[in-house]
Amino acid sequence: MSRKHIIIGNWKMYKNMEETQTFINQFSKLIKGKDIKCDYGIAASFTNLPVLKLNQVNKLIMVAQNCHYEPEGAFTGEVAIKMLKDINVSHVVIGHSERRMYFNETNETINKKLHALFNANLIPVLCCGESDSEYEAKKTNDVIKKQISLALTGIKSQHVTKLVIAYEPIWAIGTGKTASAAEAQTVCKMIRDYIAELYDKNIAQKVRIQYGGSVKPENIKSFLEQSDIDGALVGGASLQAKSFLGLLV
Ligand code: PEP
């Protein structure tokens, strides 16, 4: 089954509004007249998302880096899903390893966020991945299966078909180290087989699975050639317009 590739730039806590505008100006010029076949988006900080909205770059998917699962309330410092919908956000990165590590994001809160997003017709980009020590101890499959089964608890099959999963080995994020394309393929296939076990094969075939971890224009093709890798979640190499365009192969 052919799935449309999806490339998402994760800008983390980088760029102010002016820098975002500069990126958009450069990217809009560079992409003019190009026939881009994949879906592509930018996960910008909450303050920069309105800059992306105002500029309405052709087909650029607006992605947020987090959300709260409650519709509104006394949750100082949090952002509600309806606030994101107001500015045309359609996808939200959930459970990035930096949020799991530094902000106590748990599989349980991730599950609540997935329910809330699907109920609001937004698409979660669910991140999963093992740490360096778990990788060395050959626990990758167990760790990821646990992350996925807890995140998807109670999620209906019609929603799962829309899900994007990002497999990001933590030891490869921002380190310059990448999993080999073959290694990434093995884990992404394991994830797809596991979704088939939890739901069924047809549903698993529809889920888009990205690889993330030091992906750049020079190595992205080797990942996208793999049969179970349907895109990439990219940090560092998405920050410059030329390099981001180089990822849209
Ligand atoms: C990420 O932020 O999800 C990521 C994969 O970062 P980098 O591409 O810089 O490793």
Q: Is position 1 within any domain? A: no
Residue 89 is predicted with a pLDDT of 97
Residues 105-137 pLDDT 10s: 999 999 999 999 999 999 999 999 999 999 999
* Index of the ligand 1 atom closest to the CA of residue 232: 5
- Tell me how far apart the alpha carbons of residues 50 and 147 are, in angstroms, rounded to a whole number: 32
Closest atom of ligand 1 to 175 CA is 10
Return the CA Rg of the chain. Answer: 17
Q: Is residue 213 part of a domain?
A: yes
Does the CA dihedral 2-157-229-248 come out positive or negative?
A: positive
- Is residue 151 situated within a structural domain? yes
Query: Which pLDDT belongs to residue 210?
Result: 98
- Ligand 1: residues whose CB is within 6 Å? 10, 12, 168, 173-174, 212-215, 233-237
Phi-psi region of 214 (alpha: psi -120 to 50; beta: other; left: phi over 0): left
Residue 216 counted as domain residue: yes
pLDDT at residue 115 in the model: 98
**In the chain, which stretches have pLDDT less than 50?**
none
Distance (Å) from CA 129 to ligand 1 centroid: 12
Residue 65's pLDDT is what?
98
pTM over 0.85: yes
- Residue nearest atom 2 of ligand 1, based on CA coordinates: 235
> Can you give the pLDDT at residue 57?
85
What pLDDT is attached to residue 178?
83
Residue nearest atom 6 of ligand 1, based on CA coordinates: 235
Q: Quote the domain boundaries for residue 124.
A: 6-247
Task: State the CATH number of the domain containing residue 173.
Answer: 3.20.20.70
173 CA closest ligand 1 atom index: 10
Name residue, tokens 């087909």: 59
